[in-house]
């Protein structure tokens, strides 16, 4: 173990504000690169026309299930490892990292089998009949290659758990840069269309997997010591990881279900063109969410270490400061997207085949720009619950926010009140605000009870 590794552990177990500031920025860069990676696919595919872009829109919610599972296992690993580090139990921290790799390998086998069986009927159910061939062409490739997306997500999570955000960021940068470079080669030069975009995504992620596990398993200059010969199966550790990983993965599944429902609503109200517009616009929203995602992800590490040390004051500071940073970063993003919506929309309408999308996409971006203010209210409490190992609480709040309030208001405004696709857009914003406020209040009540629990057991 190097001096740098010791310093990283001292950081996450020290001043929460300092730790959040230092850990958030690399995570923001990481998430920015991930979102850029996704937007690159959208931009290059947009040049093929409306149908390929709509196909990408239909498959995106399903693809996000893979990403969600990787992020979920990663959140479970980060939370478990960080709590063991906070409790000064390095042996269990090492074993938790090894167990997270085991869970990832099992998932990498199961996902392609399930996906091949359900992809076509689910795509039809979402309304993708008109672009079914394109949807399946992209979908089969990314699901069969799902291991390439899961492995680097979990590897990066292991590094984040010990505060190593720099190399976590570098591994993601490798994926993003490679994807941007090779996407047009496979799509246009090799004339492979949307299938080429899928192959480029799998290959770029595979390279990232090799890089990240070189550091962990070969170079071995991390705080954690991952030696498979010392692996000892422990059902409690599996349970500890899954108690966060499964709800966190289901949270991403909830977001995918929400996207599918919104796509169906839009297809009914305005057709596949509306789905294409929302697909491209939502990629910009995802990009704008980067700062809050970075802060929330850092809060899992810092909050987990504080919880493991049973330090209520640090837990409270971590939550309040994370929320403050999230809102302060959301305000300028909202203003930028609102006022520059027409210019941003042009990114996705540069070809003759997609030029008609620009005005409607600009309107969509102006509505969804308000969404950013609501994000910290829901995301920060969810991440803090994950850091405690209370994944079901986080899941419950996400379901309330996304599957209940957002869908209800989207349907109410889009169908019942007859505002069409614009009403569906506004419904997503209103649902996020109401759900976020409830999450904030619930978390505040919870940590007041947590303080009493810590005091009574010390």
* Count of domains observed in the chain: 1
What ranges in 47-89 are assigned the alpha helix state H?
50-86
List, for residues 214-241, the tens digit of each pLDDT value: 887 777 777 787 787 778 888 888 888 8
- Angle at which helix 147-161 crosses helix 165-184, to 10 degrees, equals 160
| Distance separating alpha carbons of residues 404 and 398, to the nearest angstrom | 9
To which residue do tokens 């609503």 refer? 265
Orientation of helix 16-46 relative to helix 147-161, angle to 10°: 160
Q: Looking at residue 88, what DSSP letter applies? A: T
Other CB atoms within 10 A of residue 119 CB: 17
Range of the domain at 167: 3-457
Place of tokens 């996407």: 183
Structure tokens at 24: 């958030």
Q: Is the pTM of this model over 0.85?
A: no
192: helix, strand or coil: coil
DSSP states of 260-287 as a string? Answer: HHHHHHHHHHH-HHHHHHHHHHHHHHHH
Q: What's the pLDDT tens digit per position in 314-361?
A: 899 999 999 999 999 999 999 999 999 888 887 766 555 556 677 888
pLDDT digits (tens, 9 = 90+) for 368-425: 888 889 989 988 998 899 888 888 888 888 888 878 898 999 999 999 998 988 899 8
Is residue 227 a contact partner of residue 48, using CB atoms and an 8 Å limit?
Answer: no
Q: By the 8 A CB rule, do 118 and 174 touch?
A: no
d(CA 322, CA 294): 10
Query: Which token pair is 334?
Result: 């909202």
């Amino acid at each position: 173990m190097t001096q740098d590794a010791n310093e990283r552990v001292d950081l996450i177990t020290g001043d929460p504000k300092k730790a959040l500031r230092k850990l958030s920025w690399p995570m923001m860069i990481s998430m920015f690169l991930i979102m850029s990676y996704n937007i690159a696919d959208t931009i290059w595919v947009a040049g093929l026309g409306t149908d390929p872009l709509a196909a990408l829109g239909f498959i995106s919610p399903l693809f996000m299930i893979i990403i969600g599972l990787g992020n979920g296992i990663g959140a479970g690993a980060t939370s478990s490892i960080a709590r063991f580090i906070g409790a000064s139990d390095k042996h269990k921290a090492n074993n938790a990292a090894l167990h997270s790799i085991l869970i990832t390998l099992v998932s990498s086998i199961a996902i392609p089998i399930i996906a091949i069986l359900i992809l076509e009927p689910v795509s039809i159910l979402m309304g993708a009949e008109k672009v079914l061939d394109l949807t399946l062409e992209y979908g089969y490739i990314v699901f069969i290659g799902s291991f390439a997306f899961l492995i680097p997500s979990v590897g990066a999570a292991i590094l984040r758990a010990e505060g190593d955000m720099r190399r976590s960021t570098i591994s993601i940068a490798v994926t993003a840069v490679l994807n941007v470079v090779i996407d047009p080669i496979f799509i246009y030069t090799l004339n492979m269309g949307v299938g080429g975009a899928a192959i480029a995504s799998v290959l770029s992620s595979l390279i990232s997997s090799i890089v990240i596990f070189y550091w962990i398993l070969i170079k071995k200059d991390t705080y954690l010591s991952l030696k498979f010969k010392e692996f000892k199966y422990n059902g409690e550790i599996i349970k500890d990881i899954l108690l966060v990983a499964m709800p966190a993965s289901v949270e991403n599944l909830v977001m995918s279900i929400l996207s599918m429902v919104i796509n169906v609503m839009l297809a009914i109200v305005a057709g596949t063109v509306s789905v294409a517009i929302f697909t491209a616009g939502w990629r910009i929203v995802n990009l704008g969410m980067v700062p809050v995602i970075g802060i929330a992800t850092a809060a899992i590490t810092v909050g987990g270490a504080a919880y493991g040390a049973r330090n209520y004051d640090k837990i409270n500071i971590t939550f309040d400061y994370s929320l403050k940073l999230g809102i302060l970063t959301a305000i300028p993003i909202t203003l930028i997207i609102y006022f520059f919506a027409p210019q941003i929309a042009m990114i996705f309408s540069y070809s003759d085949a997609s030029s008609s999308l620009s005005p409607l996409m600009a309107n969509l971006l102006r509505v969804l720009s308000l969404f950013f203010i609501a994000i910290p209210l829901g995301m920060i409490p969810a991440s803090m619950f994950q850091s405690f190992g209370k994944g079901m609480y986080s899941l419950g709040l996400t379901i309330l926010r996304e599957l209940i309030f957002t869908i209800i208001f989207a349907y109410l405004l889009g169908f019942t009140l007859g505002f069409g696709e614009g009403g569906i857009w506004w419904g997503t914003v209103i649902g996020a605000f109401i759900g976020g406020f409830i999450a904030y209040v619930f978390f505040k009540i919870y940590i007041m009870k947590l303080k009493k629990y810590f005091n009574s057991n010390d």
